[in-house]
Structure 1
Amino acid sequence: MSNPLDLPLDPHMPRLAQRPRSATALALGAAALTLCAATASSTLVQWARVRNALRAGPGKQAEAHDAPEPASTPSMRLLLVGDSAALGVGADGPRHSLAGLIAADFPDAEVRNLARSGAMLTDVHAQLQAAGTGFDVAVIVAGGNDILRRRRMAQIARDADAVMADLAPRARTVVWLGVANMGLAPLFVPPWSWWVSARVRRARPLFAAAALRHGVCYLDFFREARDDVFSRDPLRYFAADGIHPSSSTYRHCYEVLRGKLD
């Protein structure tokens, strides 16, 4: 054994025994392992619930899709693109989706809905290629899936700008129904609900900025928990899956949109 202090060593001096780990250290280690296991289990359960809820969306497309056929000479041509919320998933039926509510107020209008469940911003481009041009109003509901699928914010910003550039020339008026505070949906539990809300909070100004650059009206539905109307009454404002809008939510959003259609 080296003697860095250059002091004489007593050969009869016993060596120091290794100190046993204290009960506190063992308890902390066990607690840390338990916490890691619980976090991993919670993560798997949370995202399994999210995956199942989102996969259930396409099966409901038959319940809420295009509005009825308009008159031969429509008074207005309106285009809907985006994700399951634009499609109407979670509504009690076609009449309660955005397309149905618009058709009820404008029976002579042509309402074309090309939205698809699970669509991200990049998927809207394909919907627009099938849409054509010459619309009076275009409404987009998108961005939520980009947030949930952990797309990087820089990519979300680029995709939002590209979609706005593609959509804006296709209608005289373009309205983007913004993403609400999805972290407050009943499907999410802490700490994952905090993560989702933080993601929406970061994406929100990116969406609004892209809309502004292309002359698109951005309707902001994001609210913090203290001001969020939807989470105050989740049984009323959320579908049974805990994440999609209910008929009451579609009605609420449509009332905000209604002034822009006029």
Structure 2
Amino acid sequence: MIHYLALVLMGPVFVVQGFYVRKVTPKLEEATGERSGRCGQGKLLRLLLIGDSAAAGVGASNQSKALSGNLVSALSGKFQLEWQLLAKSGYTTKDTYDMLRHQPKEQYDVVIISLGVNDVIKTFTTKDWLKHQIALVVFIREHFSCRQIVLTKIPPMERFPALPPPLRWYLGRKARDFNQHLSLWTATQDDCELLDINHRLRPEQMAVDGFHPGPGIYQFWGQSIAQVIKTRWHSGD
């Protein structure tokens, strides 16, 4: 893969740029507000949302304007929802897997996963990352007895305003490689849906740190996940 060659040739440059980005990028807090609840009317649907800072709502002031709030709002008119959010800034796929292992066994109908950006930033290879993703999905099936797992492609990191070139280019290429391999695997899994909203992401819609989604992205993302869920559950699947 070309991004592996770039890492060998330009590794020291990427390290220096990474330190610079961490130093100058504003550190935003996770969104405040409820991380679980019951609402809506209709057929009972139990949701679990897991993942990283995007799942935790960094870039939004409150969970009502973050991914969880927009998702719940888009579904509550059709379903009686019982939902929970388990997410933390900086989490990789492996971090999330380790966290979930300490959660009690519960039954959820749908599990939504927001992960990947931190895996790209770390030194994980594509093979290792895919192995972590598969292990997480297998665990979720067994531990939460869910019938639908919704994942989202890693965003186009080459468009992140916070990242300078050539680091921006490198992380973007790596993210695309991760997405390609995840797409091939999820296509073989009947209970998995891989959502791609990258065509709708614009740098000006991102949070002030130039790294996280802004409220407009969260709204579109939440509505897109809700549509995927409605399609499966209204089809009688």
Q: Does 1:252 align with 2:223?
A: no
Change (3 A) 1:124 1:253: same
Q: Would you say the 8 A contact 2:31–2:60 is kept in 1?
A: no
Q: Does 1:140 align with 2:113?
A: yes
- In structure 2, the partner of 1:153 is 126
- Quick one: which of 157, 160, 169 aligns to 1:194? 169
Distance in 2 between residues matched to 1:175 and 1:47, nearest whole Å? 33
Distance in 2 between residues matched to 1:125 and 1:153, nearest whole Å? 17
Q: Does 1:109 align with 2:81?
A: yes
User: Which runs of 5 or more structure 1 residues have no equivalent in the other structure?
Assistant: 1-38, 223-227
Q: Would you say the 8 A contact 2:158–2:172 is kept in 1?
A: yes
Change (3 A) 1:88 1:184: same
Change (3 A) 1:41 1:136: closer
Q: Would you say the 8 A contact 1:137–1:174 is kept in 2?
A: yes
Deviation at 1:128, TM superposition (A): 2.6
Specify the structure having the higher radius of gyration (Cα): 1
Distance in 1 between residues matched to 2:159 and 2:33, nearest whole Å? 24
CA deviations on 1:211-240 (whole Å, 9 max, x unpaired) are 334431111234xxxxx4323xx23x1001
Q: Would you say the 8 A contact 1:61–1:89 is kept in 2?
A: yes
Output the TM-score relative to the length of structure 2. 0.78
User: Which runs of 5 or more structure 2 residues have no equivalent in the other structure?
Assistant: 1-10, 231-237
Q: Which residue type is aligned with residue 219 of structure 2?
A: R
Change (3 A) 1:160 1:210: farther
Change (3 A) 1:53 1:61: same
Q: Would you say the 8 A contact 1:83–1:141 is kept in 2?
A: yes
Distance in 1 between residues matched to 2:176 and 2:168, nearest whole Å? 12
Larger RCO, structure (CA 8 Å, separation 6 or more)? 2
CA deviations on 1:8-36 (whole Å, 9 max, x unpaired) are xxxxxxxxxxxxxxxxxxxxxxxxxxxxx
- In structure 2, the partner of 1:120 is 92
Q: % of aligned pairs identical?
A: 22
Matched length: 212
Q: Does 1:212 align with 2:187?
A: yes
- In structure 1, the partner of 2:5 is none
Q: Would you say the 8 A contact 1:76–1:136 is kept in 2?
A: yes
Higher strand share: 2
Change (3 A) 1:124 1:92: same
CA deviations on 1:152-178 (whole Å, 9 max, x unpaired) are 122112111111211234311110012
Q: Which residue type is aligned with residue 178 of structure 1?
A: K
Q: Would you say the 8 A contact 2:14–2:167 is kept in 1?
A: no
